[in-house]
């Protein structure tokens, strides 16, 4: 009886979603943003505007999920993937900083731009670049 109800519900959902885009990477990401904005709303002095922004975001998520233009949504997903790939470089560096936080500090070489891992200590630190061999001095806290 109960199983039958859920089976029917699932069938109806599948019938409704036929030919539609459905939830994808972008809508999942935007839904997380939507939830974060929901939390932020309680700490914001302009809560009304934040709530309006949240509803606009929700409307856009529903538009994407219920959209019949699958090809267009797919091309947007490909663009989204490309953008995330561009951020990966910075995200990886942030992860590295977080993993080594108390003991090591990270700086870029002033001559070649190499990412340098430096043992953290107070004051001016001289570091020889591992790539170009030139000496950099940094002030660490
Ligand atoms: Zn260098």
Three-state secondary structure call for residue 25: helix
- Spacing, Cα 134 to ligand 1 middle (Å): 6
**By CB neighbour count within 10 A (0-12 exposed, 13-18 middle, 19+ buried), where does 37 fall?**
middle
Q: Whole-model pTM?
A: 0.65
**Which residues fall inside 5 Å of ion ligand 1, going by CB?**
109, 111-112, 114, 129, 131-132
- Spacing, Cα 63 to ligand 1 middle (Å): 49
136's enclosing H/E stretch is: strand 135-140
Residue pLDDT, tens place only, 17-55: 999 999 999 999 999 999 999 998 899 889 899 999 999
- Spacing, Cα 102 to ligand 1 middle (Å): 24
Residue pLDDT, tens place only, 87-138: 998 999 999 999 998 899 999 999 999 999 999 889 999 999 999 999 999 9
- Spacing, Cα 84 to ligand 1 middle (Å): 28
Average pLDDT over residues 1-23: 90
Q: What DSSP string describes 39-106? A: HHHTT-TTHHHHHHHHHHHHHHHHHHHH-S-HHHHHHHHHHHHHHHHHHHHHHHHHHHHHHTTTTEEE
- Spacing, Cα 119 to ligand 1 middle (Å): 17
- Spacing, Cα 120 to ligand 1 middle (Å): 19
Tokens read off for 25: 């990477």
- Going 42 to 43 to 48 to 53, the CA torsion angle's sign is negative
42 φ/ψ angles, rounded to the nearest 5 degrees: -75, -20
- Spacing, Cα 128 to ligand 1 middle (Å): 8
């Amino acid at each position: 009886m109960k199983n039958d109800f859920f089976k029917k519900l699932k069938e109806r959902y599948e019938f409704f979603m036929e030919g539609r885009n459905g939830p994808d990477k972008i809508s999942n990401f935007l839904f997380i943003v939507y939830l974060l904005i929901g939390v932020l709303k309680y700490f914001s002095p302009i809560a009304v505007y934040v709530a309006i922004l949240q509803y606009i975001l929700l409307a856009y998520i529903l538009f994407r999920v219920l959209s019949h233009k699958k090809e267009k949504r797919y091309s947007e997903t490909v663009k989204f993937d490309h953008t995330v790939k561009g951020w990966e470089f910075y995200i990886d560096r942030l992860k590295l900083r977080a993993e080594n936080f108390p003991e090591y500090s990270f700086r870029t070489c002033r001559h070649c731009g190499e990412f340098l891992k430096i043992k953290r200590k107070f004051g001016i630190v001289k570091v020889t670049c591992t790539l170009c061999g030139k000496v950099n001095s940094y002030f660490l806290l």
